[in-house]
Amino acid sequence: MNESWNFTPIGHIRSPFREKFGIPRQSGLVRTATAELVLRPPHDRPESLRGLEAFSHLWLLFVFHAARGGARRTVRPPRLGGNTRLGVFATRSPFRPNPIGLSVVELAGIEHHAGRTVLRLRGIDLLDGTPILDIKPYVPYADSLPQARGGFADSPPDARLQVVFDETVEQRLRDEGEEGARLRALIEDVIALDPRPAYRQDETPGREYAMRLGDHDVRWRVNEAGIAQVISRTALPPAEGEIS
């Protein structure tokens, strides 16, 4: 029996999430989080995707390529406040014996252009550059089980922040038309889920947070009333080595 296997990615994700901080902790929580899956030859041939357009959602098997620290037997899920340890196999932590992840995403379209095949996706929770190992169609009658128990994650997270934008940031986004509106919606939806580490959520108000969304540096803080204020948004040059 073979005890090891080598896998080659069939493609890579182009995502607005350029760093771990800010990525939704599950797929589907932020529908405005869109991405592209760029397929690599020979998997980018139209015949490999024939019939896929009939499905609304996909399973993506991927590699936690940016996870650092190796496998762990126990981890502390953010959902439990970061203070309770569970076995790694009872969680979706990236610190696994084999750093393989599984995510359900919405298929928004399939495009063939300029010698490339691209799958357009919504509701993603994947870092830019994530290697994709496989695509499987989501089949509702088999994959959706309403009677299943969800352990410590039996329902979606309910801790949400109200998000407001400083007037200067708001006006600049308005001036950018549809692109600015899309970016505003993504910023609001990501921050509303409160991406702060659990141990930071009870800290003294006013601490400034920064995250990169696409080619934008977004800075925000939570005030005394518990409202997240977006205080700046700065355009950045593409980082060296980014997937394009």
pLDDT at residue 40 tops 60:
yes
Q: Tell me, what's the pLDDT at 114?
A: 77
Provide the CB-side half-sphere exposure for 241 (13 A, CA).
2
Q: Tell me, what's the pLDDT at 243?
A: 47
Q: Domains in the chain and their CATH numbers? A: 11-153 (2.40.30.70), 162-235 (3.30.2310.20)
Q: How far apart are CA 241 and CA 135, in angstroms?
A: 25
Mean pLDDT of the chain: 91
Q: What is the pLDDT of residues 178-219, one digit of tens each?
A: 999 999 999 999 999 999 887 666 677 889 999 999 999 999
pLDDT at residue 159 tops 70:
no
Q: What is the pLDDT of residues 108-119, one digit of tens each?
A: 999 987 778 899
Q: Of 2-11, 55-64, 148-157, which has the strongest mean pLDDT?
A: 55-64
> Which range has the worst mean pLDDT, 24-33, 64-73, 106-115, 149-158?
149-158
pLDDT at residue 231 tops 80:
yes
Q: Tell me, what's the pLDDT at 4?
A: 86
Q: Tell me, what's the pLDDT at 3?
A: 82
Q: How far apart are CA 179 and CA 168, in angstroms?
A: 17
Q: What mean pLDDT comes out for the span 153-180?
A: 91
> Which range has the worst mean pLDDT, 54-68, 147-161, 166-180?
147-161
Q: What mean pLDDT comes out for the span 20-35?
A: 94
Closest CA to 230 of 152, 169, 175: 169
Q: How far apart are CA 5 and CA 146, in angstroms?
A: 34
Beta bridge pairs of residue 103: 60
